[in-house]
Amino acid sequence: MKNSQEISPTKALALIKKGALLLDVREPKEVSKKSFDVSNVLQIPLRDLKKRLREIPVDRKVVIACHVGNRGMIAARFLVNNGYSKVVNMQHGIAGWEKEGLPVRKELKTATGSWFRKLFSRMS
């Protein structure tokens, strides 16, 4: 088994700004709550990686991320073992990314009862 390189969230952002693809291997529910606020993001849950492998460009630098880094490392090893040579795993995932103050998008939460107030405001 070949090893993949790990990089900090700050270095990951620098690579993304230079054109690297960010591959987010978290589950859709996790991504809907908090996501990376950058361009060039592809979201493929780890469980779907094998069947969606062709969506990931072989000739492009790929930064893999998850929540804290464990699934990212599994995905990075999988890609390296399948012929991808430009793969790095982001240490500490989106948790580390956010801790370093890098851009995230969070789920918008509506205030409790706001749907109820909207319903009654339409009736008046």
Q: What distance in Å separates the CA atoms of residue 100 and residue 10, rounded to the nearest whole number?
A: 7
Task: Read off the pLDDT of each residue in 99-109 and give the average, rounded to a whole number.
Answer: 87
Give the helix, strand, coil percentages of the chain, each rounded to 5.
40, 20, 40
The model's pTM is 0.84
Which tokens is 71 given? Answer: 């699934």
- The pair of structure tokens assigned to 36 is 């990376």
Lowest mean pLDDT among 47-51, 101-105, 116-120: 116-120
What 8-state DSSP symbol labels residue 8? -
pLDDT at 50 over 50: yes
Q: How far, in Å, CA of 113 to CA of 90, rounded? A: 39
Direct distance between the N- and C-terminal alpha carbons of the chain, in angstroms, rounded to an integer: 67
Give the pLDDT confidence score for residue 1 in this predicted structure: 46
* Residues taking part in catalysis: 66
Q: Give strand pairing partners of 41.
A: 22
**Interval 2-45: pLDDT, tens:** 567 999 999 999 999 999 999 999 999 999 999 999 999 999 99
Provide the pLDDT for residue 93.
96
From residue 32, alpha-carbon distances to 79, 92, 97 in Å are: 25, 19, 16
